Structure 1
Amino acid sequence: MPVAVTVSGRERALLRAVAAGRCQFRGGCEPVLLVDGLACADWSVARRLVECGLVEIPDPRVPLAPAALTPAGRARLTSA
C-alpha cells in the first residue's frame, strides 16, 4: 500500500516550478537543482522531493538535465 506524502507549501511551489519546465539538475556526486538558472536555496526540499519519489532521480553523469516530475509527483500536484 502506498504511503501518503505530506507536501508543504514550499515543496508544492517547487513541484509547480518543475512542472512548468523551469528547473534543471546540475550533475555530480550531489546533484544541484537549478530554478530559473539559479541554485535552489533550499536544497533539503529538492532532496526530499526526489527521495519521496515526486521528482525523477537525476543522472549524476549528465552535466545539466531538465528536472521532471514522476507520475506520483504529477498526481500529488493535481491533488494539492
Structure 2
Amino acid sequence: MFRFQWEKAQNCFVLLFPEGMVKLNEGAGEIMQLIDGSKSVKEITDTLQEKFPDAGDLSADVNEFISTAIEKKWLYYE
C-alpha cells in the first residue's frame, strides 16, 4: 500500500501511496530505513543511539513514531 523511498525532488524520504505522498522528517526517515521486519524496536533504537550519540535517549521518539506509523497504517504489526 505504501512505498518508502528517497525523493530527490523533495530532498527527503517519503511514503508514496496511490492518492499521494507523505513527506517524512529526517528522524522518521532514519527510523524507517531500519525497519525491515526482522529488527526489534530495541535494535532499531540501539542502532540510532550509536549513529547519533549526542541525541540523548531516543527510545520515546522511536516508540512514538512506530506507534503513529501503525495507527496510520504505514506499518502493520502481527
TM-score by length of 2: 0.43
The structure whose Rg is larger is 2
Task: Point out which structure has higher relative CO (alpha carbons under 8 A, 6+ apart).
Answer: 1
TM-score by length of 1: 0.42
